[in-house]
Amino acid sequence: MLRRTRALIAIAIGALALSSTPAIASAPAETNPPKGLLEAMQRDLGLTQEQAVKRLANEQRAAQTAPGLAKNLGGEFAGSWVEGPESTLIVATTNASRRRVAGAQVKVVAHSLAQLEAAKQALDKTASNAPKTAPVWYVDVRTNSVVVLSSNPAEAEAFVAASGADKALVRVEQSGEQPVPYADVRGGDAYYIGSGSRCSVGFSVTKPGTNGGFVTAGHCGSTGATTRGANQQAQGTFRGSSFPGNDYAWVEVNSSWTPVGVVNGYSAGIIPVNGSTVAPVGSSICRAGSTTGWHCGTVQQLNTSVTYSQGTVYEVTRTSVCAEPGDSGGSYISGNQAQGVTSGGSGNCSSGGTTYFQPVNEILSVYGLTLVTGGSNPPTGCQNYREIYNGSLSNGQNQYQPNNSYYQSTVSGTHAGCLDGPSGVDFDLYLEKWNGSSWAQVAKSDSANPDESISYNGTAGYYRYRVNSYSGSGSYTLGVNRP
């Protein structure tokens, strides 16, 4: 099957809101990253240009490899991250006998990722009881623990005890952090809500039956609120919004606006978006916003809960990138992969700070959106098959082919399927047969790659293909040959 290499770097631009009254894939290394991206990484991460180039290449490979590690290790998986100046991939496991894993260094730990996430979930369920002195908690895969940040450790310990979380998995860390949501159609451009509040565009998206639009932070506007673009012209309407609990929204634009798969990288230039594969902990990540421009840092923790004065927001990602009011809703990028939209944080871009973003894949899945990428045409690697079907998946979504239905084979023979997905995702392909009472899986191809193929010799009957997004979003082509 044809495999594609797409050399476009996607730079997600972050923006915070300013209110007037938040099996192993090996990707090809990026050989020509934008000059502005390298300069920002050198400035904000203290790297040489050579280190920045190597880091981007290694992190791109790590982002492709990490989902396969989680699949292969199963219940013994305890998380993965990158570390060191050149971003070496580390995978944690509870299996003391496992010494080697292809594509990563191994660290043996006491607790699985599932155990840590269960402990964090116990804290999440009692978030309404969390003291104001303990606004942030997260799963820290690097220390194999759940961390609660607090300016009053005694109050935080009491909160942990009352939550029912396994105290052996949780540690309280002294911190003066007090995050606030930054309330203030290219990613990173400013837009205005109502009579004057300002946020920034996250990423352009499409949705069947609409004009398309963009994703942004939920605290920027409520469903039904209208927006104006950076040029102060009428732009669109919030079609969905959630805050607190989540901090995401999507805006449908009017016919005068065209969603484009790029972000405004300010000093880094105009950057095309190429996918939405999640970057491991420790990865470099950059953000741009209508207030502070372009800044970079690292991914500190995934699956973080952060409490603002309006309530708790769950499953956001914590970063060392700075931001300020006016940057809310804008986009984060790691290498060439969209990561999320800016929620809030603490500090500023003069003295430094901590920020949180809502992962973009969740937003796409919740609202049934598709990320607009730098390449507008669907993949073409399965065009030699007799039947061709095109579709688009959000993270975690299933689709059935042909055309959300099934087909009948009246003879025995070979059923062949070819799935061609976009770079940077993990799409899987399954063949199912009707057994008289339900659909039963008879063949599968579920590597950690975007492309899959199936060849199955079956008897006469009714069949269908299930296309699944294990991670990532984008368009795909399915080629089918029937007996």
Residue 15 has pLDDT above 70, yes or no: no
- 348 secondary structure, DSSP code: E
Residue ranges of the domains in the chain?
7-43+112-376, 387-481
Q: Which of 209-213, 370-374, 445-449, 471-475 has the highest mean pLDDT?
A: 209-213
CA–CA gap between residue 107 and residue 252 (Å, rounded): 45
Mean pLDDT along residues 230-235: 85
Ranking 22-26, 128-132, 427-431 by mean pLDDT, the lowest is: 22-26
- The answer to whether the beta carbons of residues 285 and 297 sit under 8 Å apart is yes
Burial of 188 (0-12, 13-18, 19+ CB in 10 A): buried
Q: Write down the catalytic residue from 328, 392, 394, 445.
A: 328
Of the CA atoms within 13 Å of residue 261, those in its CB half-sphere come to 21
Which CATH class name applies to 387-481? Answer: mainly beta
Three-state SS at 138: strand
Q: Indicate the range of 222-231, 289-298, 410-419 predicted with least confidence.
A: 410-419
Q: How far apart are CA 251 and CA 231, in angstroms?
A: 17
3-state class (DSSP) for residue 35: helix
| Most confident residue range from 18-22, 147-151, 174-178 | 147-151
Set 197, 204, 219, 346: catalytic member: 219
pLDDT value for 293: 86
Write the DSSP string, 171-192. EEEE-----EE-----BT-EEE
**Annotated catalytic residue 247:** yes
Closest CA to 34 of 61, 14, 52: 52
Stretch (H or E) spanning 366: helix 360-367
The two three-digit tokens of residue 170, written as one number: 């949780």
Arch. (CATH architecture) of 7-43+112-376: Beta Barrel (2.40)
Report pLDDT digits (tens) over 79-113: 999 998 889 999 999 999 998 888 899 999 999 99
Catalytic choice (124, 184, 247, 420) = 247
Residue 381 — very low, low, confident or very high, per pLDDT cuts 50/70/90? low
pLDDT at 184: 38
CA–CA distance, 479 with 481 (Å, rounded to integer): 7
pTM: 0.65
- For residue 315, how many other CB atoms are within 10 A of its CB? 17
CA 251 to chain centre: 19
Q: What is the pLDDT of residue 477?
A: 87
3-state SS record for 221-263: CCCCCEEECCCCCEEEEEEEEECCECCEEEEEECCCCCCCCEE
Question: Would you state the structure tokens that stand for residue 471, as one six-digit string?
Answer: 């991670």
- Pick from 44, 306, 280, 319: which is nearest to 142 by CA? 280
Whether 219 is a known active-site residue: answer: yes
> What is the pLDDT averaged over residues 336-341?
90
